[in-house]
Amino acid sequence: MTASDAVDINGEQPDIVGRVCEAVVAIEYRHAGVVVEPANVIFLMFASRWHRLYFDFGVVFWRPDEDGPASFEAEELDASFRADEIGTRFGVIGRRLEAVRYDALDDGSRVTLQFDGSRQIRFECRSDVTTYSA
């Protein structure tokens, strides 16, 4: 694990480096049918355990999670939260996690998961909106 002194991490990074990735699911937040945040919360599964990764501006949060991801509707807010399995799309399922890197950004923070086979997923939270890319 590489952690920048400028990135505030709340919680403990789980013991996932060196383990094989079983799932990566982003919870997409929509308001009035429009995507507001592609990755409101990220769920990672390693060694048959779910781990929750999420951001609040520049703060990176890690939490264990017993239940894992689930889609749900918040009709009172005209919002929906959809579980989107992105691990397969980015080719990281079955790959070993080699490193987790944290970077401070002017308007947020970034977490990069580096897998074997030169695969990676980056989660960036800028101005309190979290996105992902390979």
Mean pLDDT for the chain overall: 95
Distance CA 79, CA 108 (A): 24
Contact 24, 44 (CB under 8 A): yes
77 φ, ψ to 5°?
-110, 0
**Pick from 95, 74, 81: nearest CA to 24:** 95
Please name the residues in contact with 74: beta carbons below 8 A apart, sequence gap of 6 or more.
80, 81
pLDDT reading at 2 higher than 50: no
- Kindly state the tokens that stand for 60: 């990176």
Distance CA 58, CA 127 (A): 9
Give 50-98 pLDDT, tens digit per residue. Answer: 999 999 988 999 999 999 999 999 999 999 999 999 999 999 999 999 9
Q: Are strands 79-85 and 34-46 parallel, antiparallel or unpaired?
A: unpaired
Distance CA 77, CA 40 (A): 15
Considering only CA atoms, give the Rg of the chain: 14
Distance CA 63, CA 54 (A): 9
Question: Predicted confidence band at 1 (pLDDT cuts at 50, 70, 90)?
Answer: very low
Q: Which amino acid is at 59?
A: V
pLDDT reading at 5 higher than 80: no
